[in-house]
Structure 1
């Protein structure tokens, strides 16, 4: 007969009473242009001091091509590059990934994930920056408070060219 061993860990593990969540939707619009390239996109959080508090996601061309490797063009994400990108050694597991096609792309982060680990309560801004070869650049910002206390928060921004709608929901 197998024996079951039960160990009580009462008081040894402390978990927060909440599991805050950040949901983001980023739309890459269909453009009617002769030469289309998928945009490079940086999605990050800025603190009240306008410094990068967390890199959430960076989309870039990951294959070698005739023009070289995609990391060569990451500095074109100017705001992100100046504030954070140049200090990162890409690829970054769980942060960097390939460029995305036209459409809506959903991202979700919880306070237990590496991107949000250690994010202190306070005022933040979601920043989504996009740049496209033979195209333009666009930067959208949505302010929010972290973590949401009792009710969800939401915000949205609408791009004009390189980005479509960007939506943010912060759940307690």
Structure 2
């Protein structure tokens, strides 16, 4: 009787297990330039040694379009312009990456939501990481921002940074 009571009480005191959440906001600024092209953007989580722990999003031209000289070309051709992501994960990835690849986005704030119960964060070991957002634009520049964070988070935390030209505000909210 005593053993059953303590086992039942242990189950009650342990409480429910909640998933950790990672929410990202990426602002694509509205640029006033003569020839505007939507940027290619890659969002990933990197380890301290700068290897990719998880690809979160890759936004690029999804359908064929006319390039220089009127020749048809695929948007994947220009993914190498996302230099950091390409060197670390892109060149070895099979595109499109299921659940990660998407079309380029217009100017505005774009929200991405993830939890540790599903890919790409499922199984991400505890440790120090950086959220990395890289943007590259045809007839424009390229830019990369990093936000360090701990995973899984012990308590809710908010982080933000801002790009100079190709990226606006980049936010990261983590919660246990």
Same fold (TM over 0.5): yes
The whole-number CA distance in structure 1 between the counterparts of 2:82 and 2:103 is 15
Q: CA deviation at 1:92?
A: 1.1
The whole-number CA distance in structure 2 between the counterparts of 1:50 and 1:65 is 33
CA RMSD in angstroms, aligned pairs only: 1.2
Q: CA deviation at 1:72?
A: 0.3
Which residue is 2:57 aligned to?
57
Matches within 5 A, 1:101-116: 101-116=106-121
The whole-number CA distance in structure 1 between the counterparts of 2:104 and 2:57 is 11
Which residue is 2:9 aligned to?
none
The whole-number CA distance in structure 2 between the counterparts of 1:153 and 1:31 is 30
Which residue is 2:3 aligned to?
none
Q: CA deviation at 1:113?
A: 1.4
Q: CA deviation at 1:18?
A: 2.2
Matched length: 157
The whole-number CA distance in structure 2 between the counterparts of 1:44 and 1:165 is 16
Which residue is 2:171 aligned to?
167
The whole-number CA distance in structure 2 between the counterparts of 1:154 and 1:83 is 26
1:93-151 Cα distance to aligned partner (Å, 9 max, x none): 100000000000000000011100110000000000000000000000000000111x2
The structure with the larger Rg is 2
The whole-number CA distance in structure 2 between the counterparts of 1:48 and 1:63 is 35
TM normalised by structure 1 equals 0.89
Q: CA deviation at 1:50?
A: 1.1
Secondary structure, counterpart of 1:82 in structure 2: helix
The whole-number CA distance in structure 2 between the counterparts of 1:99 and 1:21 is 24
| Structure having the larger proportion of residues in helix | 2
Q: CA deviation at 1:48?
A: 1.4
1:33-92 Cα distance to aligned partner (Å, 9 max, x none): 000000000000001111000000000001101121100000000000000000101001
Unaligned runs of 5+ in 2: 1-15, 68-72
Unaligned runs of 5+ in 1: 1-15
Matches within 5 A, 1:86-165: 86-149=91-154, 151-165=155-169
The whole-number CA distance in structure 1 between the counterparts of 2:52 and 2:161 is 19
The whole-number CA distance in structure 2 between the counterparts of 1:104 and 1:17 is 31
TM normalised by structure 2 equals 0.87
